[in-house]
């Protein structure tokens, strides 16, 4: 185990936040004021988001780094 192992989960979340925050549209209110809550939702192919506008959470499926249309 490395000395920086406890920081790895935070680093992984930061990577997803840098790429997806403010870009994925909330399915409930259509706002793009969304942030990554967790890089994994119910499955490894899902990212869990939180909407800052309506305060709901939702899952977004990641498909080969393509944004939803």
Tell me the per-residue pLDDT of 21-62, one tens digit each, with 9 for 90 and over: 667 899 999 999 999 888 888 888 888 999 999 999 999 887
- Predicted TM-score of the model (pTM): 0.66
Tell which wins on pLDDT, 64 or 21: 21
Tell which wins on pLDDT, 69 or 49: 49
Mapping DSSP onto H, E and C, the string for the chain reads CCCCHHHHHHHHHHHHHHHHCCCCCCCCCCCCCEEEEECCCCCCCEEEEEECCCCCEEEEECECCECCC
């Amino acid at each position: 185990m490395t000395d920086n192992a406890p920081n790895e989960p935070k680093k992984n979340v930061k990577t997803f936040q840098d790429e997806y925050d403010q870009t994925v549209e909330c399915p409930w209110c259509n706002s793009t004021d969304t942030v990554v809550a967790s890089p994994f939702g119910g499955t490894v192919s899902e990212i869990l988001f939180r909407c800052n506008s309506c305060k709901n959470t939702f899952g977004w499926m990641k498909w080969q780094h393509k944004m939803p249309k």
